[in-house]
Homo-oligomer: A and B are copies of this chain.
Amino acid sequence: MGLTLALDAMGGDHGPHVVVPAALSVLAEQPDLTLILVGDQDVLARELLAHRVQTSDRLQIQHASQCVEMHEPPSQALRGKKDSSMRVAIDLVKAGRAQACVSAGNTGALMATARYVLKTLPGIDRPAIISALPTMTGHTHMLDLGANVDSTAEHLFQFAVMGSVLTSAVDNIERPRVGLLNIGEEEIKGNETVKEAARMLAASDIHYVGFVEGDDIYKGSVDVVVCDGFIGNVALKTSEGVAKMISHYMKQEFKRSIFTRSVALVAMPVLKAFRAKIDPRQYNGASLVGLQGIVIKSHGSADAFSFANAIKEAVIEVKKDVPQRIRKQLESFLTERRAS
């Protein structure tokens, strides 16, 4: 049985210039897949022409007359742009014409629209943003990466459930190890919210392994890292900043003299292989979890390789039926709580 995804073809910094080639590359790999490009009919038709392809059963265009800007306030996008490529793509999921949607657009608008159209799962107060991050041993999933600030202990608990279920499904791990992000000082160890969430997790069926600190994220000692969205967003962006600084200084050193330039030439294959290991493009495709539907957020500046990875993430989550699994897990927790 085939599988259909809706792509917000106008979102992100590059719109159809990235979405169309990404779509074509994934279609070539996955014969059961159908993709619906959502956006301006004429623009999309021209982009397809540039790639010498036509629409087909497996590559369709759904017209949408508007486009959400990258810095547009979410409430404005939600109220004023009911025919945006983002909104129409999500509507296709709601209508059952697509099993998931992928967008590189404005995160706030995507979250607000997805939440309004698809609604949250029963038992979930707030959807969260989750993504895989590279570690020394493979990768780990982290949430929330910025959808929620001032999360309560109950919210952190819900994030842990969602993160555990998604990771279990996507990575085929029966009981993912879940860690709660905290700070290390003894007396001042964390705030009350984190301590309360730890108690809730310890009493649950989740494979909770305890507190982790910032440097543990990249050690690979847990499969899921749970934190408030303010903290997760800072941790993620700080990581990007460190990686960029390191790369900046490394390039600078290799450019210093004729000797170092020739060393760079020799070292190139090694440096390339190294960079591939921590290539953030491999990890593109954050999920908006906790919704009654699958919505994948690509990085706004994603290139075609990177956006293709976001499409593949959507395919995996559809095949594993992640929202349904989260719903079931939550129901079993709620039953447990009522029983106890």
Residues of A participating in the B interface, judged by any CB pair closer than 8 Å? 71-75, 106-108, 112, 134-136, 146-150, 181, 183-188, 190-192, 213-219, 227, 229-231, 233-246, 248-250, 252-254, 256, 260, 263-264, 266-267, 269-271, 273-274, 277-278
**Which residue of the partner chain B has the closest CB to A234?**
B214
Chain B hits for A264, CB < 8 A: 270
The docked-state distance in angstroms from the alpha carbon of A148 to that of B269 is 45
Expressed in whole angstroms, the Cα–Cα distance for A224 and B168 within the complex equals 41
- A-B pairs, top 10 by smallest CB distance, nearest first, are A214-B237, A215-B241, A214-B238, A218-B241, A183-B233, A218-B245, A253-B274, A74-B187, A149-B191, A215-B237
Contact check, B244 vs A246: say whether CB atoms are below 8 A apart: no
- Say whether A71 contacts B186, CB under 8 Å: yes
CB neighbours (8 Å) of A244 from chain B are: 136, 215, 218
Looking across the interface, which residue of chain B has its beta carbon closest to that of A260? B270
Interchain CB contact under 8 A, B263 and A235: no
Report the nearest B residue to A112, measured CB to CB.
Answer: B187
Q: Is the CB of B241 within 8 A of A253?
A: no
* Residue pair B233, A234 in contact (C-beta under 8 Å): no
Residues of A contacting B: mostly: helix
Cα distance A215–B233 when bound, in Å?
Answer: 10
Q: Which residue of B lies closest to A267 (CB)?
A: B267
Q: How far is the CA of A239 from the CA of B227 in the complex (A)?
A: 17
Roughly how many angstroms separate A46 CA and B65 CA in the complex, as a whole number? 81
Q: Given known contacts A71-B186, A146-B183, A215-B241, what 16 new A-B pairs fall within 8 Å (CB)?
A: A72-B186, A73-B186, A112-B187, A150-B192, A183-B229, A184-B237, A213-B234, A214-B239, A239-B242, A250-B274, A252-B274, A260-B270, A263-B267, A263-B270, A266-B266, A267-B270
Q: Which residue of B lies closest to A192 (CB)?
A: B150
Q: Which residues of B contact A231 (CB under 8 A)?
A: 230-231, 234
**Are the C-beta atoms of B243 and A74 separated by less than 8 Å?**
no
Chain B nearest CB from A17 CB (Å) reads 24
Chain B residues with CB below 8 A from A254, complex form = 270
Residue with the highest number of chain B CB atoms closer than 10 Å, among A71, A217, A235: A235
**Nearest Cβ distance between residue A140 and chain B, in whole angstroms?**
11
User: Shortest distance in angstroms between A133's beta carbon and chain B's nearest beta carbon?
Assistant: 10
| Inter-chain contacts of A237 with B (CB < 8 A) | 183-184, 213-215
Q: Which of B108, B235, B267 contacts A185 (CB 8 A)?
A: B108
Cα–Cα, bound, A254→B71 (Å): 42
* Residues of B with C-beta under 8 A to A248: 136
Which residues of the other chain, B, contact A230 by a CB distance below 8 angstroms?
A: 183, 190-191, 231
